[in-house]
Structure 1
Protein backbone atom coordinates (compact mmCIF):
# COMPACT_ATOMS: atom_id res chain seq x y z
CA UNK A 1 0.00 0.00 0.00
CA UNK A 2 2.33 2.72 -1.23
CA UNK A 3 -0.31 5.35 -2.00
CA UNK A 4 -2.55 6.51 0.82
CA UNK A 5 -4.33 9.57 2.07
CA UNK A 6 -3.68 11.29 5.39
CA UNK A 7 -6.67 11.79 7.69
CA UNK A 8 -5.38 13.33 10.95
CA UNK A 9 -8.53 12.56 12.97
CA UNK A 10 -9.78 8.99 13.39
CA UNK A 11 -13.53 9.52 13.45
CA UNK A 12 -16.00 7.88 15.77
CA UNK A 13 -18.78 6.99 13.39
CA UNK A 14 -20.91 4.34 11.70
CA UNK A 15 -20.51 3.37 8.07
CA UNK A 16 -22.43 0.89 5.92
CA UNK A 17 -20.81 -0.82 2.92
CA UNK A 18 -22.23 -3.25 0.41
CA UNK A 19 -20.52 -6.55 -0.32
CA UNK A 20 -17.12 -5.88 -1.87
CA UNK A 21 -17.14 -2.24 -0.77
CA UNK A 22 -13.75 -0.65 -0.18
CA UNK A 23 -12.28 2.08 1.97
CA UNK A 24 -8.98 2.92 0.32
CA UNK A 25 -5.64 3.05 2.13
CA UNK A 26 -5.34 5.88 4.62
CA UNK A 27 -3.63 6.76 7.88
CA UNK A 28 -4.75 8.55 11.04
CA UNK A 29 -2.74 10.42 13.65
CA UNK A 30 -5.03 8.79 16.22
CA UNK A 31 -5.88 5.24 17.27
CA UNK A 32 -9.01 3.54 15.96
CA UNK A 33 -11.07 0.51 16.94
CA UNK A 34 -12.81 -1.13 13.97
CA UNK A 35 -15.85 -3.30 14.69
CA UNK A 36 -18.17 -5.04 12.22
CA UNK A 37 -21.57 -5.18 13.87
CA UNK A 38 -22.90 -6.89 10.75
CA UNK A 39 -20.96 -8.66 8.03
CA UNK A 40 -17.23 -9.36 7.91
CA UNK A 41 -14.48 -6.76 7.52
CA UNK A 42 -10.89 -7.15 6.41
CA UNK A 43 -8.24 -4.64 7.43
CA UNK A 44 -5.10 -4.66 5.31
CA UNK A 45 -1.80 -3.14 6.41
CA UNK A 46 1.78 -3.57 5.28
CA UNK A 47 2.13 -6.23 7.99
CA UNK A 48 -0.73 -8.41 6.76
CA UNK A 49 -4.49 -8.85 6.66
CA UNK A 50 -6.91 -9.13 9.58
CA UNK A 51 -10.42 -10.50 8.91
CA UNK A 52 -13.00 -10.43 11.68
CA UNK A 53 -16.64 -11.35 12.34
CA UNK A 54 -18.89 -9.68 14.91
CA UNK A 55 -17.29 -11.49 17.83
CA UNK A 56 -14.06 -9.53 17.35
CA UNK A 57 -12.75 -6.05 16.64
CA UNK A 58 -9.47 -4.76 15.26
CA UNK A 59 -7.26 -2.27 17.07
CA UNK A 60 -5.49 0.00 14.55
CA UNK A 61 -2.78 2.10 16.23
CA UNK A 62 -2.07 5.68 15.20
CA UNK A 63 0.24 5.95 12.21
CA UNK A 64 -0.80 2.60 10.68
CA UNK A 65 -1.63 2.76 6.98
CA UNK A 66 -4.70 0.58 6.48
CA UNK A 67 -7.55 -0.19 4.09
CA UNK A 68 -10.91 -1.94 4.55
CA UNK A 69 -12.95 -4.37 2.47
CA UNK A 70 -16.52 -5.52 3.11
CA UNK A 71 -17.74 -9.09 2.86
CA UNK A 72 -21.49 -9.37 3.00
CA UNK A 73 -23.59 -6.34 3.93
CA UNK A 74 -21.25 -4.56 6.33
CA UNK A 75 -22.12 -2.23 9.18
CA UNK A 76 -18.89 -0.78 10.57
CA UNK A 77 -18.53 0.95 13.90
CA UNK A 78 -15.40 3.08 14.24
CA UNK A 79 -14.14 4.37 17.59
CA UNK A 80 -11.44 7.02 17.25
CA UNK A 81 -9.18 7.79 20.22
CA UNK A 82 -6.50 10.45 20.79
CA UNK A 83 -2.95 9.17 20.54
CA UNK A 84 -2.48 9.55 24.31
CA UNK A 85 -5.42 7.21 24.96
CA UNK A 86 -4.24 3.65 24.36
CA UNK A 87 -6.15 1.36 26.73
CA UNK A 88 -4.63 -1.73 25.09
CA UNK A 89 -1.06 -0.43 25.29
CA UNK A 90 -0.40 -1.83 21.82
CA UNK A 91 1.63 -0.36 18.97
CA UNK A 92 0.60 -2.89 16.30
CA UNK A 93 -2.75 -3.96 14.85
CA UNK A 94 -4.40 -6.58 17.03
CA UNK A 95 -7.63 -8.55 17.05
CA UNK A 96 -9.53 -8.32 20.34
CA UNK A 97 -12.48 -10.38 21.51
CA UNK A 98 -15.74 -8.46 21.74
CA UNK A 99 -17.89 -9.64 24.63
CA UNK A 100 -21.66 -8.98 24.59
CA UNK A 101 -21.10 -6.07 27.00
CA UNK A 102 -18.30 -4.56 24.93
CA UNK A 103 -20.44 -4.90 21.80
CA UNK A 104 -23.27 -2.91 23.35
CA UNK A 105 -20.85 -0.27 24.65
CA UNK A 106 -19.35 0.20 21.16
CA UNK A 107 -22.82 0.49 19.63
CA UNK A 108 -23.99 2.99 22.24
CA UNK A 109 -20.77 5.04 22.09
CA UNK A 110 -20.78 5.33 18.30
CA UNK A 111 -24.46 6.29 18.30
CA UNK A 112 -23.79 9.41 20.37
CA UNK A 113 -22.03 12.32 18.71
CA UNK A 114 -22.26 15.07 21.33
CA UNK A 115 -19.61 15.02 24.06
CA UNK A 116 -21.53 14.83 27.33
CA UNK A 117 -20.82 13.67 30.86
CA UNK A 118 -22.74 10.47 30.12
CA UNK A 119 -20.62 9.82 27.02
CA UNK A 120 -17.44 10.40 29.01
CA UNK A 121 -18.55 7.81 31.53
CA UNK A 122 -19.36 5.41 28.71
CA UNK A 123 -15.86 5.93 27.29
CA UNK A 124 -14.34 5.07 30.66
CA UNK A 125 -16.27 1.79 30.70
CA UNK A 126 -15.20 1.17 27.09
CA UNK A 127 -11.57 1.52 28.15
CA UNK A 128 -12.08 -0.89 31.06
CA UNK A 129 -13.64 -3.50 28.78
CA UNK A 130 -10.91 -3.12 26.17
CA UNK A 131 -8.21 -3.63 28.82
CA UNK A 132 -9.95 -6.84 29.86
CA UNK A 133 -10.53 -8.07 26.30
CA UNK A 134 -8.19 -10.89 25.32
CA UNK A 135 -6.09 -10.25 22.24
CA UNK A 136 -5.85 -12.88 19.53
CA UNK A 137 -3.11 -13.31 16.94
CA UNK A 138 -5.56 -14.15 14.16
CA UNK A 139 -4.30 -12.61 10.95
CA UNK A 140 -2.53 -13.49 7.74
CA UNK A 141 0.92 -11.86 7.78
CA UNK A 142 2.41 -10.49 4.59
CA UNK A 143 5.08 -12.75 3.11
CA UNK A 144 8.26 -11.01 1.97
CA UNK A 145 10.51 -13.87 0.87
CA UNK A 146 9.83 -14.81 -2.78
CA UNK A 147 9.49 -18.54 -2.05
CA UNK A 148 7.10 -17.96 0.86
CA UNK A 149 5.12 -15.52 -1.24
CA UNK A 150 4.85 -18.10 -4.04
CA UNK A 151 3.71 -20.75 -1.59
CA UNK A 152 1.10 -18.34 -0.26
CA UNK A 153 -0.23 -17.87 -3.78
CA UNK A 154 -0.67 -21.63 -4.14
CA UNK A 155 -2.41 -21.92 -0.78
CA UNK A 156 -4.69 -19.00 -1.57
CA UNK A 157 -5.58 -20.41 -4.99
CA UNK A 158 -6.76 -23.70 -3.49
CA UNK A 159 -7.28 -23.60 0.31
CA UNK A 160 -8.67 -27.14 0.25
CA UNK A 161 -5.48 -28.64 -1.19
CA UNK A 162 -4.22 -31.35 1.17
CA UNK A 163 -0.69 -31.43 -0.22
CA UNK A 164 2.16 -31.68 2.26
CA UNK A 165 4.83 -29.01 2.55
CA UNK A 166 7.21 -31.33 0.69
CA UNK A 167 4.73 -31.62 -2.19
CA UNK A 168 4.31 -27.85 -2.33
CA UNK A 169 8.09 -27.54 -2.20
CA UNK A 170 8.53 -29.70 -5.27
CA UNK A 171 6.12 -27.42 -7.13
CA UNK A 172 8.16 -24.29 -6.38
CA UNK A 173 11.66 -25.78 -6.26
CA UNK A 174 12.49 -25.87 -2.57
CA UNK A 175 12.77 -28.56 0.09
CA UNK A 176 10.24 -28.80 2.90
CA UNK A 177 13.02 -28.12 5.42
CA UNK A 178 13.99 -24.91 3.62
CA UNK A 179 10.37 -23.78 3.34
CA UNK A 180 9.68 -24.54 6.99
CA UNK A 181 12.66 -22.43 8.04
CA UNK A 182 11.71 -19.57 5.72
CA UNK A 183 8.07 -19.55 6.88
CA UNK A 184 9.11 -19.30 10.53
CA UNK A 185 11.60 -16.53 9.78
CA UNK A 186 9.26 -14.58 7.48
CA UNK A 187 5.88 -15.04 9.17
CA UNK A 188 6.65 -16.03 12.75
CA UNK A 189 4.55 -19.19 12.59
CA UNK A 190 4.66 -22.77 11.37
CA UNK A 191 3.32 -23.97 8.03
CA UNK A 192 0.25 -25.67 9.60
CA UNK A 193 -0.54 -22.50 11.58
CA UNK A 194 -0.25 -20.35 8.46
CA UNK A 195 -2.43 -22.66 6.38
CA UNK A 196 -5.08 -22.72 9.12
CA UNK A 197 -5.12 -18.92 9.26
CA UNK A 198 -5.55 -18.70 5.50
CA UNK A 199 -8.34 -21.25 5.58
CA UNK A 200 -10.16 -19.51 8.44
CA UNK A 201 -10.04 -16.19 6.66
CA UNK A 202 -11.35 -17.73 3.44
CA UNK A 203 -14.09 -19.39 5.50
CA UNK A 204 -15.15 -16.04 6.96
CA UNK A 205 -15.44 -14.55 3.48
CA UNK A 206 -17.48 -17.50 2.14
CA UNK A 207 -19.81 -17.43 5.15
CA UNK A 208 -20.35 -13.69 4.69
CA UNK A 209 -21.28 -14.40 1.07
CA UNK A 210 -23.96 -16.83 2.27
CA UNK A 211 -22.31 -20.19 1.60
CA UNK A 212 -23.60 -23.06 3.80
CA UNK A 213 -21.35 -24.27 6.62
CA UNK A 214 -20.85 -27.73 5.11
CA UNK A 215 -19.85 -26.26 1.76
CA UNK A 216 -17.43 -23.84 3.43
CA UNK A 217 -15.81 -26.68 5.37
CA UNK A 218 -15.28 -28.64 2.16
CA UNK A 219 -13.99 -25.69 0.11
CA UNK A 220 -11.54 -24.66 2.82
CA UNK A 221 -9.99 -28.06 3.42
CA UNK A 222 -11.64 -29.52 6.51
CA UNK A 223 -12.53 -33.20 6.45
CA UNK A 224 -15.94 -32.63 8.01
CA UNK A 225 -18.28 -29.85 9.04
CA UNK A 226 -17.91 -30.81 12.71
CA UNK A 227 -14.13 -30.44 12.54
CA UNK A 228 -14.49 -27.05 10.86
CA UNK A 229 -17.02 -25.88 13.46
CA UNK A 230 -14.67 -26.89 16.29
CA UNK A 231 -11.69 -25.01 14.79
CA UNK A 232 -13.85 -21.99 14.01
CA UNK A 233 -15.27 -21.85 17.53
CA UNK A 234 -11.80 -21.98 19.08
CA UNK A 235 -10.60 -19.19 16.80
CA UNK A 236 -13.56 -16.81 16.92
CA UNK A 237 -15.48 -17.70 20.07
CA UNK A 238 -18.66 -18.61 18.20
CA UNK A 239 -19.93 -21.15 15.70
CA UNK A 240 -19.83 -20.37 11.97
CA UNK A 241 -23.61 -20.48 11.72
CA UNK A 242 -24.24 -17.86 14.43
CA UNK A 243 -24.81 -14.16 13.70
Structure 2
Protein backbone atom coordinates (compact mmCIF):
# COMPACT_ATOMS: atom_id res chain seq x y z
CA UNK A 1 0.00 0.00 0.00
CA UNK A 2 1.09 3.54 -0.62
CA UNK A 3 0.91 4.23 3.11
CA UNK A 4 4.28 2.42 3.39
CA UNK A 5 5.94 5.17 1.39
CA UNK A 6 4.73 8.11 3.45
CA UNK A 7 7.65 10.15 4.77
CA UNK A 8 5.69 11.52 7.70
CA UNK A 9 5.39 9.74 11.02
CA UNK A 10 1.73 10.69 11.23
CA UNK A 11 -0.90 7.94 11.22
CA UNK A 12 -2.43 8.55 7.81
CA UNK A 13 -5.05 6.28 6.30
CA UNK A 14 -5.18 5.84 2.53
CA UNK A 15 -8.21 7.19 0.71
CA UNK A 16 -10.65 4.55 -0.50
CA UNK A 17 -11.48 4.66 -4.21
CA UNK A 18 -14.81 3.56 -5.70
CA UNK A 19 -14.16 0.59 -8.02
CA UNK A 20 -16.77 0.36 -10.78
CA UNK A 21 -16.94 -2.78 -12.93
CA UNK A 22 -17.75 -2.55 -16.62
CA UNK A 23 -21.40 -3.44 -17.18
CA UNK A 24 -22.08 -3.95 -13.48
CA UNK A 25 -25.62 -2.57 -13.81
CA UNK A 26 -26.46 -5.42 -16.20
CA UNK A 27 -25.93 -8.18 -13.63
CA UNK A 28 -27.43 -9.04 -10.25
CA UNK A 29 -24.50 -11.21 -9.21
CA UNK A 30 -21.24 -12.18 -10.87
CA UNK A 31 -17.90 -13.75 -10.04
CA UNK A 32 -14.36 -12.89 -11.17
CA UNK A 33 -11.40 -15.25 -11.22
CA UNK A 34 -7.79 -14.06 -11.12
CA UNK A 35 -4.65 -15.75 -12.43
CA UNK A 36 -2.39 -17.60 -9.99
CA UNK A 37 0.36 -14.99 -10.39
CA UNK A 38 -1.90 -12.07 -9.38
CA UNK A 39 -0.48 -10.60 -6.14
CA UNK A 40 -3.43 -8.32 -5.42
CA UNK A 41 -2.66 -5.22 -3.40
CA UNK A 42 -4.70 -2.95 -5.68
CA UNK A 43 -4.98 -0.27 -3.02
CA UNK A 44 -7.81 0.55 -0.64
CA UNK A 45 -11.08 0.63 -2.57
CA UNK A 46 -14.79 -0.09 -2.22
CA UNK A 47 -17.70 -1.27 -4.33
CA UNK A 48 -21.38 -0.48 -4.48
CA UNK A 49 -21.96 -4.23 -4.24
CA UNK A 50 -21.33 -6.73 -1.48
CA UNK A 51 -18.20 -8.80 -2.16
CA UNK A 52 -17.12 -12.31 -1.22
CA UNK A 53 -13.36 -12.99 -1.20
CA UNK A 54 -12.22 -16.60 -1.58
CA UNK A 55 -9.18 -18.53 -2.83
CA UNK A 56 -9.64 -22.01 -4.27
CA UNK A 57 -5.89 -22.54 -3.91
CA UNK A 58 -3.26 -20.79 -1.83
CA UNK A 59 -3.81 -18.07 0.75
CA UNK A 60 -5.03 -14.48 0.72
CA UNK A 61 -5.11 -11.71 3.29
CA UNK A 62 -8.19 -9.47 3.20
CA UNK A 63 -7.73 -6.10 4.89
CA UNK A 64 -10.95 -4.28 5.78
CA UNK A 65 -10.47 -0.99 7.55
CA UNK A 66 -8.03 -1.64 10.39
CA UNK A 67 -8.55 -5.41 10.55
CA UNK A 68 -7.28 -8.32 8.48
CA UNK A 69 -8.27 -11.90 7.85
CA UNK A 70 -5.94 -14.62 6.57
CA UNK A 71 -8.13 -16.82 4.37
CA UNK A 72 -7.24 -20.36 3.27
CA UNK A 73 -9.46 -22.25 0.77
CA UNK A 74 -11.68 -23.44 3.62
CA UNK A 75 -12.86 -19.92 4.52
CA UNK A 76 -14.33 -16.96 2.65
CA UNK A 77 -15.01 -13.39 3.72
CA UNK A 78 -18.20 -11.43 3.05
CA UNK A 79 -17.48 -7.68 2.75
CA UNK A 80 -20.54 -5.39 2.85
CA UNK A 81 -21.02 -2.80 0.11
CA UNK A 82 -19.16 0.52 0.41
CA UNK A 83 -16.71 -0.87 2.98
CA UNK A 84 -13.04 0.07 2.20
CA UNK A 85 -10.80 -2.96 1.75
CA UNK A 86 -7.86 -4.50 -0.10
CA UNK A 87 -6.64 -8.04 -0.81
CA UNK A 88 -3.11 -9.46 -0.86
CA UNK A 89 -2.42 -12.93 -2.24
CA UNK A 90 0.41 -15.22 -1.24
CA UNK A 91 1.60 -16.53 -4.60
CA UNK A 92 0.62 -18.75 -6.19
CA UNK A 93 -3.05 -18.38 -5.25
CA UNK A 94 -6.29 -18.61 -7.21
CA UNK A 95 -8.46 -15.72 -6.06
CA UNK A 96 -12.19 -15.58 -6.75
CA UNK A 97 -14.27 -12.47 -5.98
CA UNK A 98 -18.05 -12.64 -6.06
CA UNK A 99 -20.16 -9.48 -6.27
CA UNK A 100 -23.88 -9.05 -5.57
CA UNK A 101 -26.06 -5.95 -5.40
CA UNK A 102 -27.36 -5.38 -1.83
CA UNK A 103 -30.99 -5.40 -2.91
CA UNK A 104 -30.52 -8.91 -4.33
CA UNK A 105 -28.72 -10.33 -1.28
CA UNK A 106 -30.82 -12.11 1.36
CA UNK A 107 -27.98 -12.22 3.89
CA UNK A 108 -28.40 -9.67 6.68
CA UNK A 109 -24.67 -9.40 7.43
CA UNK A 110 -23.73 -5.76 8.01
CA UNK A 111 -20.12 -6.34 9.07
CA UNK A 112 -17.30 -8.38 7.51
CA UNK A 113 -18.28 -12.01 8.07
CA UNK A 114 -16.22 -15.17 7.64
CA UNK A 115 -17.99 -18.34 6.56
CA UNK A 116 -16.74 -21.85 6.02
CA UNK A 117 -16.31 -23.35 2.54
CA UNK A 118 -17.20 -27.04 2.72
CA UNK A 119 -17.06 -29.51 -0.15
CA UNK A 120 -20.47 -28.62 -1.64
CA UNK A 121 -19.96 -24.87 -1.38
CA UNK A 122 -16.51 -25.20 -2.91
CA UNK A 123 -17.86 -27.10 -5.91
CA UNK A 124 -20.64 -24.54 -6.32
CA UNK A 125 -18.17 -21.65 -6.25
CA UNK A 126 -16.00 -23.33 -8.87
CA UNK A 127 -19.04 -24.08 -11.04
CA UNK A 128 -20.23 -20.48 -10.79
CA UNK A 129 -16.80 -19.20 -11.81
CA UNK A 130 -16.72 -21.41 -14.92
CA UNK A 131 -13.75 -21.39 -17.26
CA UNK A 132 -13.51 -17.66 -17.95
CA UNK A 133 -12.28 -14.72 -15.91
CA UNK A 134 -15.80 -13.28 -15.47
CA UNK A 135 -19.11 -15.13 -15.18
CA UNK A 136 -22.68 -14.14 -14.42
CA UNK A 137 -24.29 -16.11 -11.58
CA UNK A 138 -27.79 -17.28 -12.50
CA UNK A 139 -30.71 -17.15 -10.05
CA UNK A 140 -30.79 -20.87 -9.12
CA UNK A 141 -27.08 -20.79 -8.25
CA UNK A 142 -27.58 -17.56 -6.30
CA UNK A 143 -30.27 -19.11 -4.12
CA UNK A 144 -28.16 -22.19 -3.43
CA UNK A 145 -25.09 -20.12 -2.64
CA UNK A 146 -26.85 -17.88 -0.12
CA UNK A 147 -28.53 -20.86 1.52
CA UNK A 148 -25.23 -22.67 1.98
CA UNK A 149 -23.28 -19.58 3.10
CA UNK A 150 -25.84 -18.71 5.75
CA UNK A 151 -25.57 -22.23 7.19
CA UNK A 152 -21.77 -22.13 7.52
CA UNK A 153 -20.82 -19.14 9.68
CA UNK A 154 -17.24 -19.14 10.94
CA UNK A 155 -16.19 -16.17 13.08
CA UNK A 156 -12.55 -16.79 12.26
CA UNK A 157 -9.84 -14.66 13.81
CA UNK A 158 -9.62 -11.03 12.73
CA UNK A 159 -6.32 -9.28 13.38
CA UNK A 160 -6.14 -5.51 13.80
CA UNK A 161 -3.19 -3.86 12.08
CA UNK A 162 -1.37 -0.77 13.36
CA UNK A 163 -2.09 2.55 11.65
CA UNK A 164 1.42 3.95 12.13
CA UNK A 165 3.05 3.55 8.72
CA UNK A 166 6.33 2.15 10.07
CA UNK A 167 4.63 -0.44 12.26
CA UNK A 168 2.36 -1.22 9.30
CA UNK A 169 5.42 -2.14 7.24
CA UNK A 170 6.34 -4.69 9.91
CA UNK A 171 2.77 -5.98 10.16
CA UNK A 172 2.26 -6.41 6.42
CA UNK A 173 5.58 -8.20 6.06
CA UNK A 174 4.76 -10.65 8.86
CA UNK A 175 1.31 -11.31 7.42
CA UNK A 176 3.01 -12.52 4.23
CA UNK A 177 6.12 -14.00 5.91
CA UNK A 178 5.19 -15.08 9.45
CA UNK A 179 8.42 -17.05 9.91
CA UNK A 180 10.59 -13.89 9.87
CA UNK A 181 12.34 -14.02 13.28
CA UNK A 182 13.42 -10.37 13.46
CA UNK A 183 12.82 -8.60 16.74
CA UNK A 184 11.48 -5.06 17.03
CA UNK A 185 15.01 -3.93 17.79
CA UNK A 186 16.16 -5.35 14.45
CA UNK A 187 13.18 -3.83 12.66
CA UNK A 188 13.94 -0.46 14.24
CA UNK A 189 17.35 -0.42 12.56
CA UNK A 190 15.80 -1.28 9.22
CA UNK A 191 13.07 1.37 9.51
CA UNK A 192 15.16 4.02 11.30
CA UNK A 193 12.65 4.23 14.13
CA UNK A 194 13.19 3.41 17.77
CA UNK A 195 12.06 0.04 19.06
CA UNK A 196 10.00 1.78 21.74
CA UNK A 197 8.15 3.75 19.05
CA UNK A 198 7.28 0.56 17.17
CA UNK A 199 6.32 -1.17 20.41
CA UNK A 200 3.91 1.64 21.33
CA UNK A 201 2.48 1.67 17.81
CA UNK A 202 1.53 -2.01 18.05
CA UNK A 203 -0.10 -1.62 21.44
CA UNK A 204 -1.94 1.55 20.41
CA UNK A 205 -3.01 0.28 17.00
CA UNK A 206 -3.86 -3.34 17.81
CA UNK A 207 -4.43 -3.57 21.55
CA UNK A 208 -1.72 -6.26 21.67
CA UNK A 209 2.00 -6.32 22.24
CA UNK A 210 4.13 -7.04 19.21
CA UNK A 211 4.91 -10.52 20.55
CA UNK A 212 1.25 -11.38 21.08
CA UNK A 213 0.26 -9.98 17.68
CA UNK A 214 2.96 -11.98 15.90
CA UNK A 215 1.83 -15.12 17.71
CA UNK A 216 -1.67 -14.61 16.34
CA UNK A 217 -0.28 -14.17 12.82
CA UNK A 218 1.72 -17.38 13.09
CA UNK A 219 -1.23 -19.37 14.41
CA UNK A 220 -3.45 -18.14 11.59
CA UNK A 221 -0.79 -18.99 9.01
CA UNK A 222 -0.51 -22.49 10.45
CA UNK A 223 -4.19 -23.39 9.92
CA UNK A 224 -4.11 -23.99 6.15
CA UNK A 225 -0.92 -26.02 6.57
CA UNK A 226 -2.65 -28.26 9.10
CA UNK A 227 -5.63 -28.57 6.76
CA UNK A 228 -3.22 -29.77 4.06
CA UNK A 229 -1.91 -32.41 6.49
CA UNK A 230 1.57 -30.96 6.82
CA UNK A 231 3.27 -32.57 9.86
CA UNK A 232 3.13 -30.45 13.01
CA UNK A 233 6.93 -30.18 13.28
CA UNK A 234 7.13 -28.86 9.71
CA UNK A 235 4.24 -26.46 10.35
CA UNK A 236 6.04 -25.10 13.41
CA UNK A 237 9.20 -24.41 11.40
CA UNK A 238 7.33 -22.82 8.50
CA UNK A 239 5.50 -20.31 10.68
CA UNK A 240 8.54 -19.33 12.72
CA UNK A 241 8.75 -21.59 15.78
CA UNK A 242 12.09 -23.07 16.75
CA UNK A 243 10.44 -26.19 18.13
CA UNK A 244 7.20 -28.11 17.67
CA UNK A 245 6.68 -27.96 21.43
CA UNK A 246 6.60 -24.16 21.45
CA UNK A 247 4.12 -24.12 18.58
CA UNK A 248 1.83 -26.73 20.16
CA UNK A 249 1.79 -24.87 23.48
CA UNK A 250 0.96 -21.55 21.78
CA UNK A 251 -1.76 -23.28 19.77
CA UNK A 252 -3.24 -24.91 22.87
CA UNK A 253 -3.28 -21.59 24.77
CA UNK A 254 -5.17 -19.89 21.95
CA UNK A 255 -7.57 -22.59 20.72
CA UNK A 256 -7.89 -24.68 23.86
CA UNK A 257 -6.73 -27.89 22.15
CA UNK A 258 -3.80 -29.28 20.17
CA UNK A 259 -3.24 -28.81 16.43
CA UNK A 260 -4.13 -32.46 15.85
CA UNK A 261 -7.43 -32.06 17.68
CA UNK A 262 -8.18 -28.86 15.77
CA UNK A 263 -7.59 -30.61 12.45
CA UNK A 264 -9.92 -33.44 13.37
CA UNK A 265 -12.63 -31.01 14.49
CA UNK A 266 -12.40 -28.62 11.52
CA UNK A 267 -11.69 -31.03 8.69
CA UNK A 268 -13.75 -30.14 5.63
CA UNK A 269 -16.02 -33.04 4.69
TM-score interval (norm. to shorter): 0.5 to 0.7
What is the TM-score with the length of structure 1 in the denominator? Answer: 0.67
Count matched residues. 223
Measure how far apart 1:216 and its partner are: 3.9
Q: Which residue of 2 aligns with 1:237?
A: 266
Measure how far apart 1:18 and its partner are: 3.6
Measure how far apart 1:190 and its partner are: 8.7
Of 224, 229, 243, the match for 2:244: 224
Q: Which residue of 2 aligns with 1:16?
A: 34
Q: Which residue of 1 aligns with 2:98?
A: 79
C-alpha separation in 2, matches of 1:107 and 1:154: 30
SS at the partner of 1:136? coil
Q: Which residue of 1 aligns with 2:8?
A: none
Q: Which runs of 5+ in 2 are unaligned?
A: 1-13, 184-193, 253-257
C-alpha separation in 2, matches of 1:87 and 1:193: 38
Q: Identify if the C-alpha distance between structure 1 residues 109 and 193 changes in structure 2 by more than 3 Å, giving closer, same or farther.
A: farther
C-alpha separation in 2, matches of 1:144 and 1:70: 21
Q: Is the 8 A contact 2:50 2:102 kept in 1?
A: yes
1:138 is the counterpart of 2:157? yes
Q: Identify if the C-alpha distance between structure 1 residues 195 and 5 changes in structure 2 by more than 3 Å, giving closer, same or farther.
A: same
Q: Which residue of 1 aligns with 2:50?
A: 31
Which has the larger displacement, 228-237 or 7-16?
A: 228-237
Q: Which residue of 1 aligns with 2:59?
A: 40
Q: Is the 8 A contact 1:61 1:92 kept in 2?
A: yes
Q: Is the 8 A contact 1:58 1:93 kept in 2?
A: yes
C-alpha separation in 2, matches of 1:197 and 1:19: 27
Q: Is the 8 A contact 1:30 1:62 kept in 2?
A: yes
Measure how far apart 1:72 and its partner are: 2.8
Measure how far apart 1:69 and its partner are: 1.9
Q: Is the 8 A contact 2:161 2:171 kept in 1?
A: no
Q: Which residue of 2 aligns with 1:59?
A: 78
SS at the partner of 1:121? helix
What is the TM-score with the length of structure 2 in the denominator? Answer: 0.61
C-alpha separation in 1, matches of 2:61 and 2:52: 13
